[in-house]
Structure 1
Amino acid sequence: MSTFVTLLVIGLSEGAILALAALGFVLIYKATGVINFAQGEFLLIGAYSFYTAFVVMQLPIVLALLVGVLVAVVVGVVVERFILRPMVGQSHISIIMVTIGLASVLSALVQMFYGTQPRSMPPILPRGSVSILGGTVPVNRLWAIVICAVVLGLLTWFFQKSRHGVAMRAVADDQQAAMTVGISVRRVFAMSWALAAISALIAGVTLADITTVEMNIVNFGLLVFPVVIMGGLDSVPGTIVGGLTIGLVTQFVSGYMDPGLAEIVPYLVLVLVLLVRPYGVFGEKRIERV
């Protein structure tokens, strides 16, 4: 029972971080139709930008977070304006290849400035452990769940209820109709990339705090794809369910079976979902006439 509780909390924390990272992926896809293969690198940029402000520049944590948000917004807007916007009207495979190239460039830039050695930073979340139902649970994992849940709730509310969120949904449904009622499609595109970068920043900083600041954050970001395939590329609730499911399955397989097998289980789930339900558990089934 103690092992189960420990694995449950760790799985929920990693699943919540995954869901937050995947939510940015879904926002971009819903608003622009772009499949962003650089989402893992956005986590990396977020973690290292915060590390630079907090450790290298020794700014207070609040200012370091603000610097991280500013960097995330700038990166998101620059990518949309100067890399993706010129690709409007091009084939989907061309845009996918551009995002793959972008991922390589961002990763190379981080390696060029910081190298490949893991870096440590002062803890942000409380350390220590507590006992829950006989299991020893790290306190920072509990805080990670709370932080990700709050941010996911705020972003979901923004997307569902706010004026800008409604505009993003309108553009996702029909760009031409959105333009006729005065919605700036270009502004919505830029906003979606900025929000995706911010969500990746928070996910990256949280992950770096409970683990370490290193290039392997990109590998964690790759788990975004099983999450969004499982939940549905265009489903926000599906992203949350998918993230928690992948996080829990990975931890239970690692704890009860084999850590090596746990590394490939998310991709086995991805293949299984594609075979059974290609549009995801919560995704919208679209039938298009060609």
Structure 2
Amino acid sequence: MDFLYNILVAPFAMIGAAPSFFVEVLIGGLLSGVMYSLVALGFVLIFKASGVFNFAQGAMVLFAALFFAGFMDKGIPWYGALPLTVLVMLVLAMGIERVVLRPLVNQPHIILFMATIGVSYFLDGLGQTIWGSEMRVLNIGIPQNPINMGPIQVNAFDIVAAVVAGSLVAALALFFQYTRIGRALRAVADDHQAALSVGIPLKTIWAIVWTVAGVVGLVAGVMWGAKLGVQFSLAMVALKALPVLILGGFTSIPGAIVGGLIIGAGEKVAEVFWADAIGGGIEDWFAYMLALAFLLFRPQGLFGDKIIERV
């Protein structure tokens, strides 16, 4: 009975006793959720264009952070390291598309998925070979001090990172919704063969999408690297986007945004208000348990298309 009380009643009693603290935790979670949405967007773009879950997206986030931090360690200021890292990620993304994926066009999706797993391990090894495996502190000039907003405090870095990530997510959502390339992307996502038959160059679309995913990986790597330090666990942080995708839907850009906000807010609130009842480490597994519940009751996600097979 004590366990049920701690799970079902105690958290609400804590919220009622300190509503401003609950709002503070909730805002912190939502700000982290925006960064999760940014990482998830890279997965969504590639999945929409090819129907393949890009397992290497987390490694691309780490790879970008390693190069950015490495350039800064060489004495290059951040405003010089950023365009150099953008160039590296553009070359990397286009190289992956041309060398690895282009020869596998029209192959079963499981083959493409296995190819991205290989790319992920290759990037991990290449990053360690070039820059080493020690953790790096990434300072890009964003303050880490808390800001007083009435009765609550919010970390200044979280606000800046959320604004940057949210701006990029919004810009890409508008780009793919209202531009010619965006319409071509949606056509490719619906049917590869039909898109080819009306003159949409599939290989060009793939190259554009992988390039955009590389840029998204760069921004996510810099933001997460500045927050947590540049270390190889960043690749696992990026895979937190998987439950985000399950919640929002693998083909939905709005779903990536909403899913990220739900995961970010949910795990922070659960970590703070359920830790006494369940124990520590909730933040590590909460997102995956929530995703499992969605798979049982709504496997297509909040914004995904319901799959109907006629026999």
The TM tier, using the shorter chain, reads: over 0.9
CA shift digits 1:60-81 (9 cap, x unpaired):
3233221122111111111111
After TM superposition, the score normalised by the length of structure 1 is: 0.94
- For residue 158 of structure 1, what is the aligned residue in structure 2? 175
Kindly state the Cα deviation for residue 89 of structure 1 after the two structures are TM-superposed: 2.9
Q: How far apart in 2 are the matches of 1:184 and 1:133?
A: 54
Question: Does the alignment pair 1:274 with 2:295?
Answer: yes
Range 120-129 or range 149-158, more displaced:
120-129
Give 2:21's aligned amino acid.
T
CA shift digits 1:159-188 (9 cap, x unpaired):
011222222112112223322333211000
Query: What is the count of residue pairs matched by the alignment?
Result: 289
Q: How far apart in 2 are the matches of 1:3 and 1:216?
A: 29
Of 125, 139, 143, the match for 1:126: 143
Distance 1:157 1:48, change over 3 A: same
Q: How far apart in 1 are the matches of 2:244 and 2:100?
A: 26
Distance 1:93 1:177, change over 3 A: closer
Give 1:265's aligned amino acid.
F
Q: How far apart in 1 are the matches of 2:265 and 2:309?
A: 35
Kindly state the Cα deviation for residue 287 of structure 1 after the two structures are TM-superposed: 2.7
- Aligned 8 A contact 1:2 1:136 in 2: no
Q: How far apart in 2 are the matches of 1:8 and 1:73?
A: 36
Of 3, 7, 10, the match for 2:28: 10
Of 224, 229, 240, the match for 1:207: 224
Of 191, 199, 216, the match for 1:182: 199
Of 257, 267, 271, the match for 1:250: 267
CA shift digits 1:258-283 (9 cap, x unpaired):
34122111110111111101111110
CA shift digits 1:44-91 (9 cap, x unpaired):
0111121122x1233332332211221111111111111112222332
After TM superposition, the score normalised by the length of structure 2 is: 0.88
Kindly state the Cα deviation for residue 289 of structure 1 after the two structures are TM-superposed: 5.3
Kindly state the Cα deviation for residue 288 of structure 1 after the two structures are TM-superposed: 4.3
Of 38, 41, 45, the match for 1:23: 41
- Aligned 8 A contact 2:57 2:238 in 1: yes
- For residue 51 of structure 1, what is the aligned residue in structure 2? 69
Range 22-31 or range 280-289, more displaced:
280-289
Q: How far apart in 2 are the matches of 1:87 and 1:179?
A: 16
Q: How do residues 125-144 of structure 1 correspond to structure 2 at under 5 angstroms?
A: 125-144=142-161
Question: Does the alignment pair 1:85 with 2:102?
Answer: yes
- Aligned 8 A contact 1:231 1:283 in 2: yes
SS of corresponding position for 1:126:
coil
* Aligned-residue RMSD, C-alpha: 1.7
Kindly state the Cα deviation for residue 219 of structure 1 after the two structures are TM-superposed: 1.4
Kindly state the Cα deviation for residue 2 of structure 1 after the two structures are TM-superposed: 4.1
SS of corresponding position for 1:49:
helix
- Aligned 8 A contact 2:70 2:131 in 1: no
Stretches of structure 1 that go unaligned for 5 or more consecutive residues are none
Stretches of structure 2 that go unaligned for 5 or more consecutive residues are 1-18
Give 1:235's aligned amino acid.
S
Q: How far apart in 1 are the matches of 2:293 and 2:103?
A: 36
Give 1:47's aligned amino acid.
A
Kindly state the Cα deviation for residue 253 of structure 1 after the two structures are TM-superposed: 1.4
- For residue 104 of structure 1, what is the aligned residue in structure 2? 121
Q: How far apart in 2 are the matches of 1:121 and 1:169?
A: 37
Distance 1:20 1:82, change over 3 A: same
Of 279, 284, 287, the match for 1:263: 284
Q: How far apart in 1 are the matches of 2:132 and 2:75?
A: 20
Of 33, 39, 45, the match for 2:51: 33
- Aligned 8 A contact 1:43 1:221 in 2: yes
SS of corresponding position for 1:144:
helix
User: Higher Cα Rg: structure 1 or 2?
Assistant: 2
